[in-house]
């Protein structure tokens, strides 16, 4: 748990020398507690205080970068249990398992699907982030050969090598040395040898424990062997255990600052049935997984999981926004209707969805109101007649349409006269107050 | 450093609500911990999934979810019996969407007859929903409540604009009641208070904080539900202790992801599986956030969510 201002104050020199730029040591301590200042501003702090404060100020879940280059994945750094308290920081990674028993052509095919998995949703690029290469054969040579296939067919994709055999890990990690791979499979009987391989190849250790107690003991052991970066698996496989273990691990890290469990969690969620696997994975997305291992990556499943991850990891304090522009819904012709609304993503999704449902091709002008909904934006003076007029004029939409008519949300009916004044030659029509009345509204116009 | 699990004990508890009669009643709610946290408290009942049917044929449902009911959906009684007998539905949710003034504009009397016929034909509990037209729902749900008297049904939805008449009718006929507000914990609390001030017992309420589909505001419903549940448990706030509803099907089966064919959007993959996954993933998100009663449409989505619930308990 983070120290309070008073606890920090007790560790400071209490000289009130002002060298840190704050009037008193207590004021400085308060800023430190809020993470608005850093300890290096104090020239006189003792080494002991530095050590205690340094440990206390380290994030409760260790930040780790998995992989390298533009496909690297940031993990950890989480600070809360519930997303309404504060944004969840680093979205979980999705990884697909490739077994070293597969024929090379199949390995290459899965690698290809990973490379092609990227899609764009509300301006974010989303993809399958990593590959787990598992030593299903139990043979070191096969794992090494498979590693070479993956390295060439899925270049740049972060890789997890899954084996309990240190010699196999050493052979297979070579193509990824220095690229921050994960060597997963570290347990009580192979910890020394596996940690040595990880250390030599600058790899992250993946702990494979049997229960949370053993997990905590293993991370301490691996740390004492000189490896700091780890991802942790308590052995939970059933959905019930996954919720239980992930919750207890996250609580221990956040509420107790229990360092042996302050690492990103990896959950193995493979299931025979693709949909069932997606649903178990969905539980991991909501409840604290940092890496989710899947057995298949069909496009429909990826889209659903990417979308859920995006939903859960959005900042609850900052409304999601869409880009300001005139969107085409269907294939509008010159005489198709033109709507306007604000750029709060939910507003946009609901309005565009209802226009789509009505099956009447339309244009939807979405105006930047800093992500506020219609009524809030109007009340805040961001969705006003003059701003709407300016946006419509600058958008150039006038050139695409036959009649200059703009449909405004029913909630801002009061603006219709003043928009007409500011947009000479335009007819302003008041649309429905709620988006769900749009289909009926369009029907009456037809 | 030895690990000591941080277990939470809460002062509050979710009310358990039983619906239906005779040999078919089902109970949900009743837990004194966060969803599926059976490792630190009591979770006596599983969440319940009701199959959604309507009083009029589902011409507005996308083909993928219309198809499984093609041979039965022409008549609500046949449709309800099919869900109960063939799909083993735990409950039926009858949406009287045909009463909406912009739809068939069916009368409250017509609606009452449909309710009576469906109720007589099934043994599982019945949830009776209006068309979400605040004004029209008042007379429709008053008539429906009367027609279902003695069925221990769920009536919904009472909203700020119409709760008085609907809550009175549910109370007079001994039903449970869904109270719906729009994605705001304070509005939800306020509506529950207003309804209980009329003398409606809070133990008979079900809170609907308003559903949203995956990708279309799911995070709002998710967080409002999580906050309501935490208020119920940690602050022992009795106005926030009714179980929660996720009215999933109607929100999911109108978004683009459940309708756009693969030929238009090849990178989105198979439409059939995508639609089912969209409904099922939305359901799982809301279950984890705290919903105990779900209303869903696609048989495969329901079956898979059911299977996952079994894995969670």
Residues A300, B218: C-beta atoms closer than 8 Å: no
A308/B285 touch (CB, cutoff 8 Å), yes or no: yes
Nearest to A267, CA basis, from A65, A286, A275, A256 = A286
Q: In the prediction, which pLDDT does A32 show?
A: 81
Closest-CA residue in chain B for A440?
A: B102
Pairs across A and B, CB distance < 8 A: 159
How many CB atoms lie under 10 A from the CB of residue A353?
20
Is the pLDDT confidence value at B18 over 90?
A: yes
What tens digit of pLDDT does each residue of A254-304 get?
998 899 999 999 999 999 999 999 999 999 999 999 999 999 999 999 999
- The partner residue sitting opposite B280, judged by closest CB among A238, A275, A350, is A275
Domain boundaries, chain A: 5-57, 64-312, 325-445
CA distance B162 to chain A (A): 17
| Contact flag A353-B218 (C-beta cutoff 8 Å) | no
CATH 3.20.20.20 for domain A64-312: yes
Cα-flanking dihedrals φ and ψ of residue B154, to 5°? -110, 130
Mutate to test the interface with A, among B215, B216, B298 (most CBs of A within 10 A): B215
Which alpha helices (H) appear in B88-217, and where do they start and end? 108-121, 134-147, 163-172, 185-197
Strands A93-99 and B48-54: unpaired
- Give Cα A52 distance to the centre of its chain: 31
Judging contacts by C-beta atoms under 8 Å, the chain A residues touching residue B274 are 300, 303-304
How many Å apart are CA B206 and CA B180, to the nearest integer?
9
Separation in Å, CA of A100 to nearest CA in chain B: 27
Measured between CB atoms, which of B223, B227, B257 is closest to A303? B257
- List, for residues A118-160, the tens digit of each pLDDT value: 998 877 889 999 999 999 999 999 999 999 999 999 999 999 9
Nearest to B150 by CA among B38, B281, B301, B19: B19
Tell me the shortest Cα–Cα distance from B292 to chain A, in angstroms: 16
Contact B164, B192 (CB under 8 A): no
pLDDT for A1: 45
Contact A312 B222 (CB under 8 A): yes
Question: Mutation test of the interface with chain A: which of B4, B5, B132, choosing the one with the most A Cβ atoms within 10 A?
Answer: B5
Please give the Cα distance from A348 to A34 (Å, whole number): 36
Q: Determine the pLDDT at residue A333.
A: 94
Strand pairing of A124-126 and B244-247?
unpaired
Record: fold of A325-445: Rossmann fold (3.40.50)
Q: Taking CB atoms and an 8 Å limit, are A275 and B284 in contact across chains?
A: no
Question: Has residue B206 got a pLDDT over 80?
Answer: yes
CB contact under 8 A, A316 and B223: yes
Interface contact flag, A216 B39, Cβ < 8 Å: no
B215: nearest CB among A243, A279, A307: A307
Positive or negative, the Cα torsion across B191, B193, B196, B198? negative
**What is the nearest CA distance from B164 to chain A, expressed in angstroms?**
23
| Domains of chain B listed by start with CATH number | 49-312 (3.20.20.20)
Neighbours of A152 (CB within 10 A): 11
Nearest by CB: A251 against B6, B273, B276 = B6
B20 CA to chain A: closest CA distance, Å?
29
pLDDT value at residue A2: 62
CB contact under 8 A, A84 and B223: yes
Domain A5-57 class, CATH top level? mainly alpha
User: Chain B, 86-125: which have a CB under 8 Å from a chain A CB?
Assistant: 102
Which residue of chain A has the CA closest to B259?
A357
Question: Closest residue of A to B3, CA-based?
Answer: A213
The residue of chain A with its CA nearest to that of B37 is A244
At A303, list the tokens.
């889209």
pTM of the shown model: 0.89
Residue of A311, A307, A322, A361 whose CA lies nearest to A339: A361
Q: What is the mean pLDDT of residues B161-166?
A: 96
- List, for residues A341-386, the tens digit of each pLDDT value: 999 888 888 898 889 888 899 999 999 998 888 988 998 899 999 9
Lowest mean pLDDT among A356-360, A415-419, B294-298: A356-360
Among B295, B304, B253, B293, CA closest to B51: B295
Q: Which two tokens stand for residue A152?
A: 């060439």
Asked if pLDDT for residue A401 goes beyond 80, the answer is yes
Torsion angle of alpha carbons A356, A361, A365, A366, nearest 10°? 20
Query: With contacts defined as CB-CB under 8 Å, which chain A residues touch B300?
Result: 275
Contact B219 A311 (CB under 8 A): yes
Band (B140; pLDDT cuts 50, 70, 90) = very high
């Amino acid at each position: 748990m983070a120290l309070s201002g008073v606890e920090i104050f007790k560790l400071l020199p209490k000289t009130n020398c002002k060298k840190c730029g704050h009037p008193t040591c207590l004021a400085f301590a308060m800023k430190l507690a809020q993470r608005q200042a850093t300890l290096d501003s104090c020239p006189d702090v003792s080494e002991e205080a530095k050590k205690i404060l340094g440990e206390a100020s380290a994030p409760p879940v260790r930040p780790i970068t998995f992989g390298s280059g533009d496909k690297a994945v940031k993990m950890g750094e989480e600070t809360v249990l519930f997303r309404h308290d504060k944004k969840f920081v680093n979205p979980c990674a999705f990884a697909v398992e490739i077994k070293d028993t597969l024929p090379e052509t199949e390995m290459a095919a899965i690698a290809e699907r990973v490379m092609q998995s990227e899609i764009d949703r509300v301006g974010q690029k989303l993809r399958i982030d990593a590959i787990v290469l598992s030593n299903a054969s139990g043979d070191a040579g096969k794992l090494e050969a498979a590693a070479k296939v993956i390295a060439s067919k899925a270049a740049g994709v972060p890789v997890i090598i899954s084996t309990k055999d240190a010699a196999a890990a050493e052979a297979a990690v070579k193509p990824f040395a220095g690229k921050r791979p994960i060597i997963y499979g570290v347990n009580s009987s192979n910890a020394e040898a596996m940690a040595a391989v990880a250390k030599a190849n600058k790899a992250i250790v993946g702990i494979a424990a049997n229960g949370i107690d053993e997990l905590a003991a293993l991370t301490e052991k691996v740390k004492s062997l000189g490896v700091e970066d780890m991802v942790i698996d308590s052995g939970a496989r059933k959905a019930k255990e996954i919720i239980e273990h992930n919750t207890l691990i996250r609580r221990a890290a956040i509420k107790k600052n229990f360092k042996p469990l302050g690492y990103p969690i990896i959950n193995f969620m493979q299931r025979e049935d693709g949909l069932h696997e997606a649903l178990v994975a969905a539980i991991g997305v909501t409840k604290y997984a940092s890496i989710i291992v899947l057995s298949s990556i069909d496009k429909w499943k990826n889209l659903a999981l990417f979308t859920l991850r995006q939903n859960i990891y959005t900042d609850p304090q900052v409304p999601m926004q869409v880009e300001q522009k005139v969107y085409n819904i269907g294939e509008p012709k010159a005489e198709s209707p033109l709507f306007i609304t604000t750029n709060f993503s939910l507003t946009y999704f609901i309005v565009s969805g209802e226009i789509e449902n009505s099956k009447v091709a339309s244009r939807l002008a979405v105006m930047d109101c800093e992500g506020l909904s219609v009524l809030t934006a109007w009340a805040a003076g961001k969705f006003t007649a003059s701003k709407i007029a300016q946006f419509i004029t600058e958008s150039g939409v006038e050139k695409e349409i036959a009649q200059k008519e703009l449909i405004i949300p029913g909630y801002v009916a009061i603006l219709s006269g003043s928009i007409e004044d500011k947009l000479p030659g335009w007819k302003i029509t008041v649309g429905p107050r709620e988006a769900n009345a749009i289909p009926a509204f369009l029907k009456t116009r037809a | 450093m030895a690990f000591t699990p941080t277990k939470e004990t809460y002062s509050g508890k979710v009310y358990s609500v039983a619906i239906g009669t005779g040999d078919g009643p089902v109970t949900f709610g009743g837990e004194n911990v966060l969803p599926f946290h059976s490792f630190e408290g009591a979770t006596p009942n599983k969440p319940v999934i009701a199959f959604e049917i309507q009083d009029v044929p589902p011409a507005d449902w996308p083909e993928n979810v219309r198809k499984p009911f093609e041979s039965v959906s022409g008549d609500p009684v046949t449709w309800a019996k099919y869900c109960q007998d063939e799909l083993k539905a735990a409950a039926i949710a009858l949406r009287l969407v045909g009463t909406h003034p912009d739809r068939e504009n069916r009368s409250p009397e017509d609606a009452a007859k449909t309710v009576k016929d469906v109720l007589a034909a099934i043994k599982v509990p019945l949830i009776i929903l209006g068309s979400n037209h605040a004004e029209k729902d008042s007379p429709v749900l008053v008539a429906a409540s009367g027609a279902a008297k003695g069925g221990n049904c769920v009536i919904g939805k009472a909203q700020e604009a119409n709760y008085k008449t609907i809550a009175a009718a549910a109370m007079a006929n001994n039903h449970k009641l869904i109270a719906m507000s729009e994605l705001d914990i304070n509005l939800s609390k306020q509506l529950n208070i207003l309804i209980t001030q009329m003398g409606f017992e809070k133990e008979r309420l079900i809170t609907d904080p308003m559903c949203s589909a995956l990708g279309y505001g799911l995070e709002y419903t998710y967080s409002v539900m999580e906050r309501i549940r935490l208020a119920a448990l940690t602050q022992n706030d009795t106005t926030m202790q009714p179980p929660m509803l996720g009215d999933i099907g109607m929100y999911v089966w109108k978004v683009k992801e459940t309708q756009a064919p693969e030929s238009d959007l090849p990178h989105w993959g198979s439409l059939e599986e995508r639609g089912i996954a969209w409904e099922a993933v939305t359901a799982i998100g809301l279950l984890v956030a705290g919903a105990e009663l779900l209303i869903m449409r696609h048989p495969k989505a329901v079956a898979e969510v059911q299977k996952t619930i079994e894995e969670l308990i």
